[in-house]
Amino acid sequence: MLTADITISTQFHRGPVDRRLFGSFVEHMGRCVYTGIYEPGHPGADPYGFRTDVADLVRELGTTLVRYPGGNFVSGYRWEDGVGPVADRPRTIDLAWRGIEPNEVGTDEFLGWARRGGLIPMMAVNLGTRGVQDAANLVEYCNVEGGTRWSDLRRSYGTPEPHRVPLWCLGNEMDGPWQTGHTSATEYGRLAREAGKAMKMIDPEIEVVVCGSSHRHMPTFGYWEADVLEQAYDVADYVSLHAYYLNDGERAGYLGSGAALDGFIRDVVATADAVGARLGRSKKINLSCDEWNVWTRDPVVDISARELDVAVPITEHVYTPLDAVVVGDLLVALLNNADRVKIGCLSLLVNVSAPILTEAGGAARRQTIFYPTALAARLAHGLSLRTVVSCPEVATVRHGDVPAVAVAATYDEETEELAVFVTNRSNEPAEVRLAQAGPGRLAVLDGWTLTAAGSGEPGAFTAHAADDAGATILRLAPESWTALRMERKDTV
């Protein structure tokens, strides 16, 4: 059994956890939209054609924000094809996933669904095959009250009030050769600057996200962020990072994915801050981790062999308990960087590498990765606490040596409760001594644990006690993730 020490103080923190960290992502990809969130013929469809069983699970998941409509899809998308009377909309070929897009769901339908679900919309504009004017037009369509060409068009289509979309992605993964309209960092940075400038002229209240690297191992990583921000620093509010972690058979490396994400985040922060210092700017660029998840098999898909049809299934991963532990650990990394990571999107929401799976005409069900996401969204409120961890390391081929135990903690000043999330990345059980800095101790009110060897659903966590020095002893199963609701006790 390995041993570890964790020290927590509510006096040392990074600032508040942004609720937008618990977001997700809806793309016109596979069955995410059609037979995912939207299925007019389903027995549980609402008057707008959206599945109420899925909407119920989205609420249970704790989703706060949803990014739309892509993803790779957006780089070939004409948003005008998805507004107006549905019967008049064209059927188009999606260049990203080689499918037929019927355009039954578009801007107004998605934003109406988001509003009814209490979700913050995060819209992406096409900077792959389109440009500045089209992006500005979409902001006008969505956010201007009326009295202009595009806002009056929205009103004529039955949406008199503006959608007031607060957050916009300036393209998607423009560093990737797979992207329609792929370009260089300098060219993209200039385009993003001019698009963002025009969009903010339409609505000065919006925030924009410029594209960072598609993943940490892109050959242009670092150079891309620096060049883009050199061009677009003054208009940008966030830079994106996308992080998918593949279970390629090296179990220790897969379990160390949270440590890799933590390093990825720190590298992007360092790069952005270096550009800000070079430009002499006091503004800090924060991060939008607007695609993150785990993959259960090789994500490379030969789309050239796909049939041209609507909602052809793609990457409908069936997740295991091990995947749930890794997702929990990735959430630990996001919470531990809450001072700079303000937005997070688990990718995707339904059917495509998703926490929710649906059957066309049938049931919707939770996947294993649903549970850590829902627990973190429910428990992690208030301030992101700085923690001190002393523990052995685990050797991995993929990431080098990583800490065997990882922890994130939050403190809600209103309820005076803490949420503590602990991952045991090792294949040994762990005894963890959890103490608060200063007098008194931390007491467990409720606890849940997920293990790679378990059923996939969280079980009650009961193995805790106080030692003579006032610390709480946690006994963690091998390859596990544990969520605790705790309170401070002044005395032992």
DSSP 8-class letter at 350 = B
Q: What is the DSSP string of 164-181?
A: ---EEEESS-TT-TTSTT
Does residue 249 or residue 136 have the better pLDDT?
Answer: 136
Gap between the terminal Cα atoms of the chain: 26
pLDDT digits (tens, 9 = 90+) for 354-367: 999 999 999 999 99
pLDDT mean over 411-418: 96
Fill in the DSSP letter of residue 77: -
Q: How far apart are CA 178 and CA 249, in angstroms?
A: 26
Condensed to tens digits (0 to 9), the pLDDT of residues 353-399 reads 999 999 999 999 999 999 999 999 999 999 999 999 999 999 999 99
Considering only the top CATH level, what class is 18-379?
Answer: alpha beta
Say whether pLDDT at 301 is over 90. Answer: no
Q: Exposed/middle/buried for 249, CB within 10 Å: 0-12, 13-18, 19+? A: exposed
How high is the mean pLDDT of the chain? 96
Position 223 pLDDT exceeds 70: yes
* β-strand pairing of 459-460 with 393-396: unpaired
Q: pLDDT class for 303, splitting at 50, 70, 90?
A: confident
User: In a 3-state reduction of DSSP, which class is residue 467?
Assistant: coil
% of the chain beyond a pLDDT of 90 = 91
Q: Which band of pLDDT confidence, cut at 50, 70 and 90, is reported for residue 305?
A: confident
How far apart, in whole angstroms, are the C-alpha atoms of residue 87 and residue 85?
Answer: 5
Cite the residue boundaries of each domain of the chain with CATH code 3.20.20.80. Answer: 18-379
Q: Are 243 and 271 in contact (CB under 8 A)?
A: no
pLDDT over 80 at 297, yes or no:
no
Query: What pairing do the DSSP bridges indicate for beta strands 207-210 and 167-170?
Result: parallel
The pLDDT of residue 65 is above 70: yes
- CB neighbour list of residue 68: distance below 8 Å, 6 or more residues apart: 25, 26, 27, 110, 114, 121, 122, 123, 124
Say what the pLDDT of residue 391 is.
98
SS3 of residue 465 by DSSP: strand
Give the right CATH number for 2-11+383-489 from 3.40.50.300, 3.40.30.120, 2.60.40.1180, 3.30.390.30: 2.60.40.1180
Residue 306 — pLDDT band, cuts 50, 70, 90? Answer: confident
What pLDDT score does 300 carry? Answer: 62
- Length of the chain as a residue count: 492
Query: What residues contact residue 327 under an 8 Å CB cut-off, 6+ apart?
Result: 293, 294, 346, 369, 372, 373
Token look-up 């989703």 returns 63
Determine the pLDDT at residue 463: 63
Q: What is the DSSP letter of 307?
A: -
Least confident span in 39-43, 190-194, 307-311, 438-442: 438-442
Region 185-196 average pLDDT: 98
Of the ranges 219-228, 295-304, 462-471, which one carries the lowest mean pLDDT score? 295-304
pLDDT of residue 492 exceeding 50, the answer is no
Assign 146 a pLDDT band (cuts: 50, 70, 90). Answer: very high
Region 83-88 average pLDDT: 98
| Phi, psi (deg, nearest 5) at residue 4 | -150, 155
DSSP 411-452: EETTTTEEEEEEEE-SSS-EEEEEEESSSSEEEEEEEEEEET
Supply angle C-alpha 477, 243, 256, rounded to 5.
Answer: 30
Contact 291, 334 (CB under 8 A): no
User: Catalytic residue numbers?
Assistant: 173, 291
CATH 2.60.40.1180-classified regions of the chain: 2-11+383-489
User: Greater confidence, 304 or 201?
Assistant: 201
Report residue 167: phi and psi, to 5°.
-140, 130
8 A C-beta contact, residue 154 and residue 83:
yes
* pTM, to two decimals: 0.97
Confidence at 298, pLDDT banded by 50, 70, 90: low
Tell me the mean pLDDT in the region 105-113.
98
Predicted confidence band at 110 (pLDDT cuts at 50, 70, 90)? Answer: very high
Handedness of CA 165, 170, 174, 180 (dihedral sign): positive
pLDDT tens sequence across 448-472: 999 999 988 999 887 677 787 889 9
